[in-house]
Amino acid sequence: MAQDVLCEVNNCTFWAQGNKCSADQIYVVSHTGKKADTSKETDCQTFEASNL
């Protein structure tokens, strides 16, 4: 398992100082079914917009 998950989306509820993700779990999905060939074909479904 990854020790650190980095994220630059600072309006996410799980964004922490140092561009770290503080979510307990990360859920990534593919736009193209069960397989992706590039990162552009994926999305982080863990994202939740913060109220800040």
Domain range summary for the chain, segments of one domain joined by +: 1-52
DSSP string of 1-52?
--S--B---TTBTTEETTTEE--SS--EEETTSS--SSGGGEEETT--B---
Quick one: pLDDT at residue 23? 96
> Do residues 36 and 43 touch, judged by C-beta distance below 8 A?
no
pLDDT string in tens for the chain (52-residue length): 778 999 999 999 999 999 999 999 999 999 999 999 999 999 999 999 998 6
Strands 20-21 and 15-16: antiparallel
pTM of the predicted structure, to 2 decimals:
0.81
